Amino acid sequence: MSTTTLLLQLIVILTTARVCGWLLKHLGQPSVVGEMAAGMVLGPVVMGALFPGVHAELFSKASLGGLTSLSTVGLVLFMFVIGLELRPQQGVRQQVRAAGFVGLLSIAAPLVMGLAIAPVLHPALAPAGVGFWPFALFIGAALSITAFPVMARILKDRGQAGTPFGQLSLSAAAVVDAFAWVLLALVVAMAGTGEGYPGLLKISVGVVVLLAVVYLVLKPAYAWLLRTRAPDGEPSATVLAALMIGLLACSLATEWVHLHAVFGAFLFGTCLPRDDRLLGSLAERIEPLSIVVLMPLFFALAGLNTSASAFSGASLGAMGLIFAVAAIGKIAGGAAGARLAGYDWRDSLATGALMNARGLMELIVIKVGYDAGLIGPELFTMLLVMALVTTAMTGPLMTLIAGRAKTVPVTEAAPST
């Protein structure tokens, strides 16, 4: 893999991502939707079909190692900032029950519906040798993902982050994330290690040990480091390096216990002190490069895994089915949960619509499933399209249900649950 190829790949990917982001921004979409679309455009479905020769040469299999490494680092940095930004929001304690309801039902509905359609999908779309249950559970897990960061971004863009349904959805998304990731990890581990329950046990022990190390050792150690060496919240190069080393070590640890590196990165972010100045200065140092330069690479690599055959004949039917189940399951499940917790219909439906945004998280999930051999290129494509469309529909749906910029602080407006 030459420097020339890598530079050319980076130029093409960044340019496409910005152009698509710019186009879709004019349709009122968050930039992540444009970047996801850019990934599709760079894949075999669009660029590969229009310029097969150029595409085959620019993105040859042998040349993707560099992009993959850069995108891995980007993903780890991205998830770290997401973890860092996660904090108990005002009013969250009152919302624990409500968030639990929404989280549980917005997982259960698409999960059960996913299991229900799995018998239809398995014969035609499962790779050879993948048993029914790992496949079905993966489909269920993939449909039950909610994208915390995209949701946060959409709410922020619309000025609705402080609304009751905004706060409820953010809390519920955290519940969903934790649950769906664990489910996904279990499925992948079951299928991937081929060890069945002993494998699961090993993973569970690994996760418990990791959680103990992160929260009982790293948390106080880094709190001390930051208090003594960066009291103003401005980490020096040495402190930044120490943070990066901790981040990479946690990512590595989750890889070791058969979870994905992104999980450890997120976990490490959550263990740092909730300090606004620290968050601000770290985000300032990390986000520009990781979001502008590195994340588009991840989307492009996802797009390269897609297959044009997903867009023909019977496959289109399967894609429609997957999309319908994903959207209906999430929105209905989320809305039912909020309603049960005492929110009115409007807020409940808004919550359901927000839970339906899958964004980047879904891409990470289907990449994990693809890497583990649980799905092939065709189903990967269908799930990617589903992720793109469910994310893109969130904004318009929210406008329909809740209008724009209704900013009632949650502490005043939360129902007395």
Binding site for a second copy (CB under 8 A): 1, 3-4, 6-8, 10-11, 14-15, 17-18, 21-22, 31, 65-70, 72-73, 76-77, 237-238, 240-242, 244-245, 248-249, 251-252, 255-256, 261, 284-286, 288-293
Determine the Cα–Cα distance for residues 184 and 199; give it in Å rounded to an integer: 14
* Shortest Å, Cβ 335 to a second copy: 33
Nearer to a second copy, 16 or 167 (CB): 16
Residue 260 token pair: 């994905």
* Shortest Å, Cβ 191 to a second copy: 18
Nearer to a second copy, 52 or 65 (CB): 65
* Shortest Å, Cβ 166 to a second copy: 23
Beta-carbon neighbour count of residue 183 at 10 Å? 19
Nearer to a second copy, 11 or 56 (CB): 11
The angle subtended at Cα 151 by Cα 87 and Cα 107, nearest 5°, is 90
Nearer to a second copy, 60 or 399 (CB): 60
Determine the Cα–Cα distance for residues 293 and 287; give it in Å rounded to an integer: 9
The angle subtended at Cα 190 by Cα 382 and Cα 202, nearest 5°, is 140
* Shortest Å, Cβ 127 to a second copy: 20
Nearer to a second copy, 47 or 247 (CB): 247
Nearer to a second copy, 178 or 289 (CB): 289
* Shortest Å, Cβ 402 to a second copy: 27
* Shortest Å, Cβ 14 to a second copy: 5
- The one-character DSSP state at 357 is -
* Shortest Å, Cβ 223 to a second copy: 20
Nearer to a second copy, 9 or 163 (CB): 9
Dihedral sign of CA atoms 49, 50, 56, 60 in order: negative
Nearer to a second copy, 222 or 343 (CB): 222
Determine the Cα–Cα distance for residues 384 and 358; give it in Å rounded to an integer: 10
Residue 360, phi-psi category: left (phi > 0), alpha (psi -120 to 50), beta (remainder): alpha
Buried b or exposed e, range 271-301, using 16+ CB within 10 angstroms: bbeebeebbebbbeebeeebbeebbbbbbbb
Cα separation values, 243 from 51, 122, 219, 223, 252, Å: 43, 44, 11, 11, 14
* Shortest Å, Cβ 244 to a second copy: 6
Q: Evaluate whether 109 touches 330 at the Cβ level (below 8 Å).
A: yes
